[in-house]
Chain A
Amino acid sequence: MRSGASEFGSASGAGGESRPRGRRRFLALVAGGAAAAVTGGIVGSRLIRGGAPEPSAVSPSAAGAERLALPGSVVRVTHPRALDDSGRADAAVALDMVDAAMARLTGKTERAAAWSSLFSPDDVVAIKVNCLAAPALSTHPQIVEAIIAGLRAARVPDDNIIIYDRLTRELERAGFKPNPGRGVRCFGSDESGYDEEPSEAGTVGSCLSRIVSGLCTAIINVPLVKDHDVAGVSIALKNHFGSINNPNKQHENQCCPQVADVNLFEPIRSKQRLIIADALTVTYDGGPAFKPKTSARYKSILAATDPVALDAVGHDIIEGLRQHAGLPTLAAEGRDPKYIGVAADGDHKLGIADLARIHRMDVDASRGDRA
């Protein structure tokens, strides 16, 4: 690496081909390109039965309206038909599960009311999925469709919804249809680009995806729940390694405190309003890639506004699956995800990591169970 001298100047462009789509062209497409739908779309509000705890806190949204914040609350929704015999997610069941999760989390049984407690029509909502190990293990498009249905119920326009991950190519591999134009948009940060200057948060210096720093006003984090060979687990907090330009630089010391620090970046900390973790399939050893022998059909989703609490619960789930399979704990393997506790410490204050203080709510969506 050249440090100090000004040897590197403007590129000559000599020879070869450049990227097929320049950033300028991409931004033009984003501003007003051709219409295309990303997903089939499951539209309309439905009545949801049951109750939920009262919200414990509200905080101002980017638009100035109050929004829901529930430190330490995590909802787990299961459904025995979440995956069919071939392992494919069922869209209608996914919608039921997301509806149930939101009802339980917000205490609002109407879909529109539940989603409106977190999002307003003038929001631009970025949905961060996890497609690294696609297609075998990645956020299911059916879960994302259900989330989009909720946003539509809250009258968030399709043009204001962006599905993103690091690379458009990875999104495509996961079953999402890239669309930089009108309607629900879907593209990687490789298309949007990253901030031109790095930001600092704790130990981390990174350029944020422009989707996160500029395009959106709100983030829904839709991670997986999976083992990670370095960090221990990869759930909500670590999913934002896909929102920065240099995740490869953040894996030393088991990614600790880097994972917590990345979540301190102001756009992530202030814009993330909801986490819906896709735990339909959980890889409990050998991650972050998919390992069929150490994956379980967990048929659940987790929902929270507190990413630390959700990670703590997700970690607990993985440890349970490992124990069931006769595997040692992550701590015994030297892979305890210490960053979860760090994210809750006085320097970070990103949520609650202590399981004893976390309010866990279980819902069986197949029984219409919302209470």
Chain B
Amino acid sequence: MTGLTRREFLGGCALAGLGASVLAGGCTAAPAAPPPADEWYVRRALFYKRLPKLRVRCELCPRKCEVGDMERGYCGVRENRGGDYYTLVHGRACTTQVDPIEKKPLFHYLPGTAIYSFATAGCNLECKNCQNWQISQSRPEQVRQIRLPPAEMVTQARSQGLSLIAGTYSDPVVYYEYLEDVAREGRKRGVRTIAITAGYVNPEPMQRICRELGAIKIDLKSMREDFYRKNCTGRLKPVLDAIVAAKQTGIWLEIVYLVIPTMNDSEAEIADLARWVKANLGPDVPLHFSRFHPTYRLTNLPPTPVETLTRCRDLAVAQGLHYVYVGNVPGHPGESTYCPKCKRVLIERQVFTIVQNNVRSGKCKFCGNTIPGVWA
């Protein structure tokens, strides 16, 4: 056996009929050649560092994947090509649809508004209870592909009379560059963009994207490291840091906590959650307790009992939070917004429908109390 000379290798490559971009990446340490024309979805990633031996370290999320040449990160949508890191999903949506904003849920941000919603494949977590695992746990090649550059998406939203776009369903963290370009394009044309995320992102990229967005909803999945490790393959602390980082930018923020029976529903944990929210975000940040339904790899548990959700809400209110909701339970009184001062119903909701809205210019129409949120 012998080592290969460069000439031999190049000869072998030529005989194999290889593409130029792969040759450049495989043979030399020079930056990879531009992607082929049919890879229109490839863009250089924003957050990574080059390492020796053509490796890179992704700096986007706390996972900090160190990725070898021609390999992908944990998210499955970022690839090392010759020592540089690329997103494979820029302008490459896998689904789009129009949703009410209450479905996200965002309750204090333009209630009753319809949103043009989109996602790409991939996620940087793997929650065993993921509702959208068919896209979040897939690689781009495994799902439907819709060529939808940012400008085209904004045009589509506007043509449907929509002034909001949401990056959602999987996790916009993994299609960060795409979301940012959508948000920037939208701002130029009077369309606001929001993000629905698990918040598993480093503080610097979190604050950068928040400056482009109108609102953000973050899933805080537990107050226990053990839960994040076992159920999500992630860590709690970076999520808490990211939430605080988002709040510091002044963006409108709401928190969702999915209550899973026996896993994150103890009174102690709910009390910890409410205390943390109040201490770090303030009493006015809405907190939604959502009902779990068995799915994906967590099918051995029942749906969350309604009384558990009610109890969670009562606990959080008792801790001093002003806007606490119950989600995925149609008809529950916790779907509606109440004035913390006069206790009257401010926004009555039935599932995703606004039955009445008594917020006037950001104030309770009954007592004049200021209601935090973005109302127009």
A interface residue numbers (CB < 8 A to B)? 1-19, 85-88, 132-137, 166-167, 173-175, 190, 193-194, 198, 200, 205, 228-230, 245-246, 248-249, 251-252, 281-282, 286-290, 292-299, 321
Q: Report the minimal beta-carbon distance from A290 to chain B, rounded to whole angstroms.
A: 5
Docked complex Cα distance between A290 and B9 (Å)? 10
Give the segment of B64-72, B271-279, B342-350, B356-364 that binds chain A. Answer: B64-72
Q: Are A281 and B4 in contact, CB atoms less than 8 angstroms apart?
A: yes
Measured between beta carbons, the chain B residues less than 8 angstroms from A134 are 16, 18, 22
Task: Point out the residues of chain B lying under 8 angstroms from A245, CB to CB.
Answer: 137-139, 142
Q: Are A3 and B219 in contact (CB under 8 A)?
A: yes
Q: Is B319 an interface position by the 8 A CB rule?
A: no
Closest Cβ neighbor of B13 among chain A residues: A136
**A244, B204: Cα distance in complex, Å:** 34
Please, what's the 1-or-0 string for B23-61, where 1 marks a CB less than 8 Å from any CB in chain A? 101110000000000000000000000000111000000
Residues on A with C-beta less than 8 A from B169 are: 2, 7-8
16 A-B residue pairs with Cβ-Cβ distance under 8 Å, sorted by A, are A3-B131, A4-B131, A5-B131, A8-B95, A9-B99, A15-B153, A86-B12, A132-B71, A136-B27, A205-B128, A246-B137, A249-B137, A252-B233, A289-B71, A295-B3, A297-B4
| Docked pose: A8 CA to B9 CA in angstroms | 48
B258 at the interface (CB under 8 A from A): yes
Question: Nearest chain A CB to B118's CB is how many angstroms away?
Answer: 9
A296 and B18 within 8 A (CB): no
Known: A4-B291, A17-B147. 12 other contacts (CB 8 A): A2-B169, A5-B258, A12-B95, A13-B96, A135-B13, A136-B13, A246-B137, A248-B75, A249-B76, A288-B70, A294-B3, A299-B1
With a cutoff of 8 Å between Cβ atoms, the chain B residues found around residue A290 in the complex are 9, 26
In the complex, the number of residue pairs spanning A and B with C-beta atoms less than 8 Å apart equals 233
For residues 99 through 136 of chain B, which have their beta carbon under 8 Å from a beta carbon of chain A? 99, 103-105, 119, 123, 125-133, 135-136
Q: How far is the CB of A114 from chain B (nearest CB, A)?
A: 27
Binding site for A on B (CB under 8 A): 1-6, 8-9, 11-13, 15-19, 22-23, 25-27, 53-55, 65-66, 68-76, 93-99, 103-105, 119, 123, 125-133, 135-139, 141-142, 144-148, 152-153, 156, 168-171, 196, 198, 219, 221, 233, 256, 258, 260, 290-293, 296-297, 327-328
**Once the chains bind, are A6 and B148 in contact (CB under 8 Å)?**
no
Decide: A289 and B12 in contact? CB cutoff 8 A: no
> Lowest 7 A-B CB distances belong to which pairs?
A87-B12, A4-B258, A135-B16, A16-B146, A229-B68, A289-B69, A135-B18
Q: How many Å from the CB of A79 to the closest CB on chain B?
A: 12
CA separation between A321 and B281, bound complex, in Å?
57
B15 surroundings in chain A (CB, below 8 A): 86-88
In the complex, the answer to whether A1 meets B13 with C-beta atoms within 8 Å is no
* A174–B12 alpha-carbon span in the complex (Å): 12
Minimum Cβ distance to chain A for residue B141 (Å): 4
How far, in angstroms, from A334 to B135 measured CA to CA in the complex?
A: 34
Given A1-B123, A8-B169, A11-B144, A293–B8 Cβ distance below 8 Å?
no
* Whole-angstrom distance between the Cβ of A233 and the nearest chain B Cβ: 13
Q: Let me know if B196 and A18 touch, CB within 8 A.
A: no
Tell me the complex Cα distance, A7–B328, Å: 10
The answer for the CA separation of A11 and B148 in the assembled complex, in Å, is 14
Closest partner residue, chain B, to A133 (CB atom): B70
Q: Find A88's partner among B12, B72, B156, B256 (CB 8 Å cutoff).
A: B12
Partner of A5, one of B18, B68, B94, B328: B328
